[in-house]
Amino acid sequence: MDQDGMDPKDWQAFRRQAHRMLEASLDQLEQVRDRPWKPVPESVQQGYAIRGEGGDVVDRITRDVLPYHGGNIHPRFWGWVQGSGLASDLIAGMAGAAINANVGGRDHGAVYMERAVVDWTRTKMGMPEQAGGVLTAGTSQATVIAFQAARVRAMAEVRKTGQQGTRLTAYAGQGVHNATRKAMELLGIGADNLRLVPLMDGQMDGGALARMVAEDRAAGAVPFLMVGTAGSVDLGLFDDLNMLADLASEQNLWLHVDGAFGAWTRIAEDPWYSLTDGLGRADSIALDFHKWMYVGYDCAIALIRNVADQRAAFAARPAYLEGADRGLAGGDPWYCDYGIDLSRGNRAIKVWTALEMHGEAAFAAAITDNCRMAAYMADRVTAAPQMAMGAQVVSNVCVFTARADLEAAAQSALNADIAQTLQETGEAVFSTTRVDGVVMLRAAITNHRTRAADVEAALAAVADLAAR
C-alpha cells in the first residue's frame, strides 16, 4: 500500500467531489416538492450491479440514486407510517461519517451524546430517572429488547436455561402491530402465546384482558406481558394507558407500550397530548425517531423503566471487552450491555443535531400540525359527495373510501387502483388498509412538509380518478 492507505491521493480533487455531492444533495432537499416517487427504470435497477472499478461516483449517484428515493421525502407522501427526513440529517450525516463512531461501548463523545438523547427522550415520555434506554434501528428492535427484559424479570434464569418448561403468555389489543408478534416468535415464546384482546371503543377492553389472564393462569401458563398501543398502525388509535398501568400492577405484568409514532403526541398540543396520558408509567416503551420526529432512517429507542432490568437481560462482558478505570476502555454505560448489538452506529447524532438545529418547538408545532391536517383531510372527505371515512380520526391517520356508494368488492378494487395510480403519477402517496374487509385509502401524516393545499390537491386527484 502506498502512503495513505485508502485515503484519497488527491485531497483537493476529493474535496471538489464532496462539495459537488453536497450541492446535489441540497438541490434534492430544496426541490423536493418537484421530485415525487417514481418507478425505478429497469436499466437503473441493473445499473446498481457492483463494478468495483473505482472512480468518481458523484455523477452516477446524482443521476441514478437521488431521483429514485422511496417517496417519503415528498410533501404529499402519507403511505404506511414513514418520516420525511430533515435538513439536519445532512449535517449529522457528514459529521457522523467523519467520526465513524462505534457506540457499543468505551469512552468517547458519541456515548455521551447518546446518553443525552436517551435522557431527553426519557424525560419527554415521563419516565423516571432510573430508566435505561438504548437507540435501536426501529420499534421492532426496541420491542425485542423490551420483551427480553420482561421475560428475564419473569424468569430470572432464562438466559441460561432457555424457554423450555414454562409457557409464557402476553396480551395485546386486536390490531396490535406485527412487531409484537414477530418479537414473540423470535424470542421463542411463540405467536400462539400472544393473546389478542378485543377492543371496546378502539381501546383494549380491560375486563376481557383480566379474564383472559385468569384463564391462562388456570391453564398453567405464566402471563408476563401486556402490550399497550399508543398510535395503532391502521387507524392511529390509543389504548387507555393509565387503565393498563393499573391493570399491569394488579396482575403483576410487565406493561410495554408500542409508541412507534404515537408516543410523540407527548410533545404535541392538546387534545393530542392527552392521548398518551399514563405513558410514563409503562415498564418499557418502544418508539421511533424516524417516523414522527422526522429524523433520517433508521433511528428508534427502547426505554426501560428500570435500567437494572435492561442490564439483567443483556449485560455480558467477556475478557476481550473488559472495562478499565481510565483510557478508552473506561466509561459507563457501554451500550452493548443494553441490547443485542456490540457494534453500534451513531444514531444519536441525528436526533441531537435535529433538536439542536431545528429546536424542540418546531417539532412540537409540526406534530400538532400533522394531527390538524389529518382532521382537515377528514373534514374534506366528509364534505365530498361520494367519499366516506372508514373510521374516526383520532390522531394523524385518516382512512377513507373514494366511493362509499359502491359494493364492497368494487370499493376495494377502486381504492387499490387509486392508490397505485396516484403513486405512479407522483400526485400523492396513500397506502391502503382494510376496514371490515374493504380496502381503503389511508393517510398517516408524519410529514412536516404537508400543507393544507397538499391535502386538497390529493383529494381532488382521488375524486377525479373515482369519477372515471
Interactions with a second copy, residue window 133-192 (CB under 8 A):
137-141, 144, 148, 151, 158-168, 178-179, 181-182, 184-192
Give me the count of residues in the chain.
468
Instruction: Report whether 286 contacts 82 (CB < 8 A).
Output: no
CA angle 185, 175, 301 (to 5 degrees): 65
Q: How many residues bind a second copy (CB under 8 A)?
A: 183
Give the nearer residue to a second copy in terms of CB position, either 243 or 321. Answer: 321
Nearest Cα to Cα of residue 303 among 123, 53, 131: 131
Piece in contact with a second copy (CB under 8 A), picked from 102-110, 201-209, 251-259, 387-395: 102-110
Residue matched to cell numbers 394507558: 241
Binding mask 27-46 for a second copy (x = CB under 8 A): -xxx-x----x-xx---xx-
Instruction: Report whether 216 contacts 247 (CB < 8 A).
Output: no
413 binds a second copy (CB under 8 A): no
56 binds a second copy (CB under 8 A): yes
48 binds a second copy (CB under 8 A): yes
Judged by CB under 8 A, the residue of 76, 78, 84, 173 near a second copy is: 84
Give the nearer residue to a second copy in terms of CB position, either 191 or 467. Answer: 191
Give the nearer residue to a second copy in terms of CB position, either 245 or 254. Answer: 254
Greatest extent of the chain over all pairs of C-alpha atoms, in Å:
73
84 backbone dihedrals φ, ψ, rounded to 5°: -105, -5
Q: Which residues contact 57 (CB under 8 A, 6 or more apart)?
A: none
C-alpha cell at 229: 398501543
Interactions with a second copy, residue window 391-410 (CB under 8 A):
none
Binding mask 420-459 for a second copy (x = CB under 8 A): xx-xx----x-xxxx-------x----xxxxx--------
Interactions with a second copy, residue window 322-381 (CB under 8 A):
322, 324, 326-329, 340-346, 349, 352-353, 355-363, 365-366, 369
Instruction: Report whether 277 contacts 242 (CB < 8 A).
Output: yes
Is the bond preceding 36 in cis, omega lying within 30 degrees of 0?
Answer: no
Residue 305 to residue 282: CA distance in whole angstroms: 7
State the nearest-atom distance from the C-beta of 91 to a second copy, in Å: 5
Give the nearer residue to a second copy in terms of CB position, either 70 or 385. Answer: 70
